[in-house]
């Protein structure tokens, strides 16, 4: 018989194998799934609608017969795909609520000889676990600094130095400004962002500091969950003070990789905030391949915006650290000392 287990055991035991099968439809999986899970759908998007409609209109038995009609030709393919990802001949299976879909696939795979664990409550139980994780308390330390301070690179270096780091911009596939989508993949759904974030928080040791970057609550079109956001706003902040021209140099190098047309679109997004004349000057400089001037003009706006946000914070929770140059190794090591 398949072994039903709760969400905690499901995640702990499957973390060693990475053999999670999500048997929901491709549409459900795309909306949100357990990180690392593989989608082997019992029904296609259209087939699930047909079965669900039959269940409502005619009852359970006609729906089951139609379901078997759909699934019969797929059985061999389901077994082959499951066998390909099974570790130690073990598979972890779930559907939406831990009902008939996961039970059917579990029966088939167990009949074939694979050891099966089923998630009690299905993906719905996982989502409760995700939302609960944002209410937990974490030992957060926020890394602040004006635009162009290379905070993301500093976080990556801190991670290399065995510090606990969660990179929100990486999880959201966005760098948080009007230029934030450049060079990034399509942003995940809000649900999947939350799933990935909860998965990252799962391994956090609260006896150690957790570094996160100072962000607006909205990163691109993704929203930092309320529980975690509230903690970030109350956490101590270490603010990097990096010279203006050093930041201009960094941004010129970073954004010089992107096509001019994409940079123009980004500048146009902040025209009202820059002021029409400054936006015109920034676009003109860009047209003349003078990206440094464009960066200087845009930074003047972003610096004011950042300072406005910092002025609303509790001054006693902010520690300013001055750096003469933008040396990532030096900054990361100095931050660890200041902790």
The residues assigned a catalytic role are 95
Cα separation values, 293 from 88, 270, 290, Å = 59, 16, 6
Nearest CA to 193 out of 161, 215, 220 is that of 220
Crossing angle of helices 122-133 and 190-202, in 10° steps, is 70
Q: What are the counts of helices (DSSP H) followed by strands (DSSP E) for the chain?
A: 17, 12
Cβ partners under 8 Å of residue 32, min gap 6: 123, 127, 189, 191, 192, 194, 195
Burial class (CB in 10 A: 0-12, 13-18, 19+), 193: buried
Q: How far apart are CA 251 and CA 191, in angstroms?
A: 31
Sign, CA dihedral 164-134-220-123, equals positive
Phi, psi of 149 (to 5 degrees): -85, 5
Nearest CA to 169 out of 228, 235, 215, 234 is that of 215
């Amino acid at each position: 018989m398949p072994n039903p287990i709760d969400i905690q055991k499901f995640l702990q035991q499957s973390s060693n194998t990475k053999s999670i099968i999500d048997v929901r439809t491709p549409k459900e999986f795309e909306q949100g799934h357990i990180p690392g899970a593989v989608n082997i759908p019992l029904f296609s998007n259209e087939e699930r609608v047909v079965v669900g409609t039959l269940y409502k209109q005619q009852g359970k038995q006609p729906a089951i017969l139609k379901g078997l009609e759909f699934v019969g030709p797929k059985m061999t393919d389901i077994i082959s795909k499951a066998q390909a990802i099974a570790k130690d001949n073990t598979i972890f299976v779930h559907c939406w609520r831990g009902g008939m879909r996961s039970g059917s696939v579990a029966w088939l795979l167990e009949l074939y000889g694979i050891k099966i664990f089923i998630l009690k409550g299905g993906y719905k139980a996982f989502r409760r676990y995700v939302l609960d994780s944002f209410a937990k308390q974490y030992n957060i330390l926020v890394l602040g600094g004006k635009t162009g301070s290379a905070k993301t690179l500093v976080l990556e270096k801190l991670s290399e130095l065995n510090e606990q780091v969660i990179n929100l911009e990486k999880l959201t596939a966005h760098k948080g400004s009007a230029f934030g989508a450049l060079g990034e993949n399509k942003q995940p759904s809000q649900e999947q962002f939350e799933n990935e974030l909860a998965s990252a928080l799962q391994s956090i040791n609260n006896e150690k500091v957790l570094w996160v970057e100072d962000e607006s609550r909205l990163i691109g079109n993704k929203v930092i969950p309320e529980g975690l956001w509230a903690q970030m706003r109350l956490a101590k902040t270490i603010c990097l003070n990096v010279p203006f021209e050093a930041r201009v140099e960094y941004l010129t190098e970073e954004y010089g990789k992107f096509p001019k047309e994409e940079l123009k679109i980004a500048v146009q997004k902040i025209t009202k905030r820059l002021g029409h004349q400054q936006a015109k000057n920034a676009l003109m400089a860009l047209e003349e391949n003078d990206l440094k001037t464009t960066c200087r003009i845009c930074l003047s706006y972003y610096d004011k915006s950042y300072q406005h946000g910092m002025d609303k914070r509790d001054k006693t929770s902010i520690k300013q650290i001055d750096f003469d140059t933008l040396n990532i190794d030096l900054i990361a090591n100095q931050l660890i000392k200041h902790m």
